[in-house]
Structure 1
Amino acid sequence: MFENFSFRDSIDKIGAKLGEWLDSLILNLPNFIMAVLVFIVFIILSKYIGNLINKLLRGKVKQASIREMSVKVLKVIIILIGFFIALGLLNLDTVLTSVLAGAGVVGLAIGLALQGTLTNTFSGLILSFLPELQIGDWIETNGFAGAVTEINLRNIVIKQSDNNYVVIPNGKIIEEPFKNFTRTLRSRVMLTCGVGYSSDLEFVQNLTKETIAKAFPQGTNEEVEFMYEEFGDSSINFVVRFWTDVGKNRDILVAKNTAIIEIKKAFDKNGINIPFPIRTIDFTNNLSIEKSNDLKEGSKE
C-alpha cells in the first residue's frame, strides 16, 4: 500500500512538472518564435554582408585565402551577435552570462596556446592591406630575395632566382625590414672602376659620363654622377652612378653588364688603360752572390 502511494505521488509530481513546463512553453512561445526568427535573420544577414565585403575586398586584397578568411570571421561575428540577442529575448540572462564568461576563459587559453600562430595570422591580415608588399613584387628580406608568389594567413612564399621557393612566417616580415624592388620604377645603379695614373682624369670623367648617358638615357631630375674615390695600389678608382628601369635584382645585374661593356669599349677606343694589380718580384739574392764571390776568392788563393 505504501509502494502504491509513492508511485502515485511520483506520477502526480511528474504530471505537475510537465504541466508547469507546458504552461511556461505556451507563455514563452512568442519569445521563442521571435528568438528563432531573429537568429535566422542574422544568419541570412551574415551571408549577404559577407558577399558584399568579399566584393569590396577584391579590389584591395589580391590574396583569395585572406579574403575568404576575413569574410568567414565577419560571418561568425554576425551570427554570434544574433545568438546573444536570441538568448536575451528568451530571458536567459544567466545562460548568456555563463556563455560570455566561458568564451572569455576559452579565448584566453587558446590565445596563450597559439600565440605564435595568432601573431602570424594578424600579421597576414596586416600584410594583405599593405600597399608596399603585393603578389608579384620582387623583395629582399630575412636574407632571401625573390618574387612574392603567395600571401596567406601564416606566411608568404617567395620564388628565388634559382627557381626555389622560400616560405617565411608573416611575423618575420612584419618585424624585419624588407626591400621592394618593384614598388619604384627607376633605381640608381652604382659601378666602380679604375684607370691608370697616367690617364687624363678630366677626359676620363667626361667620357664615362657621356658613354653611360648614351647607353642609359636619364629622365627628368636624373643625371649620371661620376666621382673619383681613392688612389689605389695600381689605379685611381672611381664610382659612376646612373638611373635605369629596375623591377627586380636581375635588372641591376643586366644594367651593370651593359655599362661595363660600353665603358670598356670607350676606354679601348681612346687608349685609356684599366690597370690590374702589379707585383714586382726581386730575384736578387745578395747573400747567395756574396757567398759565391767568397768561394771564387778562396779558390784563387
Structure 2
Amino acid sequence: MEERLESAWDKMIEQLGSWLDVIVVSLPNVILAIIVFAGSFFLSRYVNSLMLRLLAKSSMQGTVKKVSARLISVTVILAGLFLALGILNLNKVLTSLLAGAGVAGLAIGLALQGTIANTFSGIVLSFVDYIKMGDWIECNDYSGEVVDIDLRTVTIREKDNNMVSIPNKMVIENPLKNYSITSKTRISVSCGVAYDSDLEFVQELVIKTISEKFDSVKNKEEVIFFYTEFDNSSINFETRFWMNSTTGLQTAKAKGDAIIAIKKAFDANGITIPFPIRTIDFSNKLSIKNQKNSNEEDSQEGIVSEEKYGKE
C-alpha cells in the first residue's frame, strides 16, 4: 500500500513538473498574449472616441453614430482576442469559437428577424435626405413632427401632442410624405353655391378673397378657380393656391382660414351655401282624401257592430 502511494505521489510530482516546464516555456507567449489583448482593449476605447469625433461631422443620427463607433471598437477587441489565441497556439479553440459564433449568429438572426430588419432600416434612414429631425411627415396614416430616429423606431409628435413610434421597417417600405422638403404647399378648398347664384360673381369674389387674405399670394392670377360638378342641391367648385408652409399643421390652419374668409365673403354678399334637403311631393291629393274617408267609414262600421253585439 505504501509503495502505491509513493508511486502515485511520484507521478503527480512528475506531472506538476512537466506542467511547470510548459508554463515556463510558454510564459513569454502568455505574457505577450495578455499584453496584446489588453492593448486591443485600450485601443478599442481610443478608436471609439476617434470614431465619435469623426462621425460628429456627418449627417447621421446620434444613436447610429454611437452604435457604429461601438461596433468598430468591439471589432478591435475581437481582433485582439483572436491574435492572442494565435500567439498561444490555441488554433483549435479559435476554430471552435468561430464555428460557435456562426451557429449562434444564425440562431439569433432567425429569432430576431424583425429587430434586425428595423436596425438595418434605421441605419439606412440615417443616410437618406428625405427624412430628418424636425421634419413634418405623414406615414402609415400618422402625421407629425419627427422628434427622434433610432435603430428601432421613428418617433413623431402629432398635432394633438401625442407621440407615435413607427418601426423603421414600415417607414422604409411604405409611402412617406414630407411637408418640410419644399417651402411651399398647395391649399385646396372645395365648396358649393346655390343654383340661383351668379357664377361669374362667385368666381371673382373667391379669387379676390383668397388673394387679399394670404400674403403669400402675390396676385389674383396665382389663385386657381374652377367649377367641378352639378350636385343635387348645389353647384360645386374648387379653388387652389400656394402658400409658404413646411408643416402639415400650417397647411391645415391655412385651409381653415380660407374656409372662414370665403364664408364671410358669401354672407356679406348674400350668396347661399346650400345643404342637402329632401322634398316630399303629395301630387295625388284626391287619393289621400278618399283613403282618409274610407278609413273613417271602416271605423264607424266597427263602432256600429260593437253596439249591435252589445245589445244582443
Q: TM-score, normalised by structure 2?
A: 0.79
Q: What's the secondary structure of 1:23's corresponding residue?
A: helix
Shift, 1:98, TM fit: 0.8
Is the 2:60–2:127 Cα contact (8 Å) retained in structure 1? no
Q: Does 1:282 align with 2:292?
A: no
With 18-27 and 70-79 compared, the bigger mean Cα shift is at 18-27
Count of residues in Structure 1 that have an aligned counterpart in Structure 2: 292
Q: How does 1:103-252 map to 2 (within 5 A)?
A: 103-216=101-214, 217-218=216-217, 223-252=222-251
| Amino acid across the alignment from 2:37 | F
Tell me what 2:68 maps to: 70
Tell me what 2:259 maps to: 260
**Structure 2, unaligned runs of 5 or more:** 295-312
Shift, 1:60, TM fit: 4.1
Shift, 1:59, TM fit: 4.4
With 138-147 and 281-290 compared, the bigger mean Cα shift is at 281-290
| Amino acid across the alignment from 1:254 | K
Q: What's the secondary structure of 2:222's corresponding residue?
A: coil
Shift, 1:50, TM fit: 0.9
With 55-64 and 20-29 compared, the bigger mean Cα shift is at 55-64
Shift, 1:49, TM fit: 1.5
Tell me what 1:86 maps to: 84
Q: Cα deviation per residue 1:107-150 (whole Å; 9 max; x = unaligned)?
A: 11222222222223333333333333333333322232333333
Tell me what 1:298 maps to: none
Identity between Structure 1 and Structure 2 (%): 49
Q: TM-score, normalised by structure 1?
A: 0.82
Is the 1:226–1:241 Cα contact (8 Å) retained in structure 2? yes
Q: What's the secondary structure of 2:133's corresponding residue?
A: coil
Shift, 1:256, TM fit: 1.2
- How far apart in 2 are the matches of 1:189 and 1:49? 51
Aligned counterpart in structure 2 of residue 29 of structure 1, from 27, 30, 36: 27
With 101-110 and 166-175 compared, the bigger mean Cα shift is at 166-175
- How far apart in 2 are the matches of 1:58 and 1:43? 23
Shift, 1:198, TM fit: 4.2
Relative distance call for 1:189 and 1:97 in structure 2 (3 A) is same
Is the 1:62–1:135 Cα contact (8 Å) retained in structure 2? no
**Structure 1, unaligned runs of 5 or more:** 295-301
| Amino acid across the alignment from 1:165 | M
Is the 1:60–1:129 Cα contact (8 Å) retained in structure 2? no
Shift, 1:255, TM fit: 0.8
